[in-house]
Amino acid sequence: MRISISAIAAFSALATAILAQQPSPEARVQDALTLVLDRKYEQFYALFSPEMKKAISLQTYSAQVDQIMTALGKPTGQDAPRSTTAQGSVLVTIPVHWPAASLNFLVSLNKAGQIQGTWFRPGDAPKPAKYDCPPYSDPSAFTARELNAGDLPGTLDIPRGKGPFPALVLVHGSGPHDRDETVGGTRPFRDLAEGLASRGIAVLRYDKRTFVKSPGALPKDGITMTWETVDDAVRAAELLRSQPDIDPKRIFVLGHSQGGYMVPRIVKADPKLAGAIVLAGNARPLPTLAAEQTEYLAELQGSISVEQRAGVEAVKKDPWSALPGIPESYKRDLDGYDPAALVRTSSVPLLILQGERDYQVTMTDFGLWKKWLAGRVNTDFRSFPNLNHLFVAGEGKSTPAEYERTAHVGAEVVDAIAAWIKAR
């Protein structure tokens, strides 16, 4: 409805008072999260848009979320909400912490303020206050310049000296990540970028599309893993080919976790790549990993209650229930996806690296890559006994709490990647 200037003048005081009483999107989602944590699912469901209610029933949503609440127990805290806007919709994210895990509670609000999407995604611990360069980073050996990857803010670390240089695009894991892929006290992508730039390899890292405030036009058929991961990686690689100090024939990509899972699609979309690196990329479907992680985290505390065990078993029977609210478009995009079969159709050289202490993407996945790609030419494998999912060293079982300490990617990983790229 269009309001005239005179009407605005007449009712400005009243409008100001009304608007002041209206909760912000962040406050509304904070209240919604309280309903979920208190297991008041019916009241939470009442906030759904008509379209959302058609997509999922109260019974189904309640069952899915209750399994997560049961498996994780009582949360220990949460961080301040953050929001982004796109095409009139607002996406609010609230990190929630449990003893064994951190998850992001995400809610998408339509123009009417109704919930049009909601899900839990793997979350991050708070960012460290300061970043200290790892010992293998030599700031005198490279420079850093801002280079947007399309509409995504980015940084290009480039070696000093005479080029053109080989270059690497870093592709994030799951969740809304900044260009450093900050997770707790670790900034894996910054470590890799500075370490590799110190060794003569240019590295482009950029803020993930789901992290930026204005993620751009959403796909008409709904968001997908291809949209949030593959498309931007391909655009970034093409951008590097246009840089005067980069060798256009020596462009590589490195995908971590979800990014590694999508490497086969990336090399399929860009067969001109000189090589691709899978860093803790899963070979198995996302729901399988979600169920496995749910059980691992539930048992990590030593004892597990009968109620928690029931929740774990329910997730194992229906793995997608561990990821409630994932859009159907996202599921369809992954339906039937076979990363090993797809990458076998490509001749792009491949390096697969794995931390043996990783509980998110395990040695089972690494073993499957080796089995399924046996005999594929230009394919190399290496695992690191003491490293976790972030390729940070530790001892014993890996835990989410381990991610919170300030730490750096192992030097042996940087060395392995540099040697492999230089050999090509």
Contact 276, 299 (CB under 8 A): no
The CATH number given to 23-123+286-327 is 3.10.450.590
Q: With bands split at pLDDT 50, 70 and 90, how would you rate the model's confidence at 206? A: very high
Residues 6+ apart with CB under 8 A from 12: none
pLDDT tens column, 273-300: 999 999 999 999 988 898 888 888 888 7
Beta bridge partners of 183: 186
Global model pTM greater than 0.85: no
The per-residue pLDDT for 16 is 33
Q: Which of 97, 172, 256, 389 is catalytic?
A: 389
257 is catalytic: yes
Question: Which listed residue (174, 257, 346, 398) is catalytic?
Answer: 257
Q: Is 383 a catalytic residue?
A: no
Residue 117 is predicted with a pLDDT of: 83
Catalytic (active site) residue 318: no
* Best CA proximity match to 308, nearest among 329, 323, 294, 324: 294
Residue in 124, 157, 178, 358 annotated catalytic: 358
Residue ranges per structural domain of the chain: 23-123+286-327, 139-284+337-422
Secondary structure letter of residue 38 according to DSSP: T
Give the neighbor-by-neighbor strand order of the sheet with 246-256.
142-146, 154-159, 202-206, 165-171, 246-256, 275-279, 350-355, 379-384
Task: Give 139-284+337-422's CATH code, choosing from 3.30.930.10, 3.20.20.70, 3.40.50.10470, 3.40.50.1820.
Answer: 3.40.50.1820
40 vs 10, residue with greater confidence: 40
How long a stretch of residues is the chain?
424
Q: For the segment 307-355, what is each residue's pLDDT rounded down to a tens digit?
A: 777 877 887 888 887 776 678 889 999 999 999 999 999 999 999 999 9
Q: Partners of 277 in the beta sheet?
A: 254, 351
Residue 238 token pair: 């093409």
CB 218 within 8 A of CB 85: no
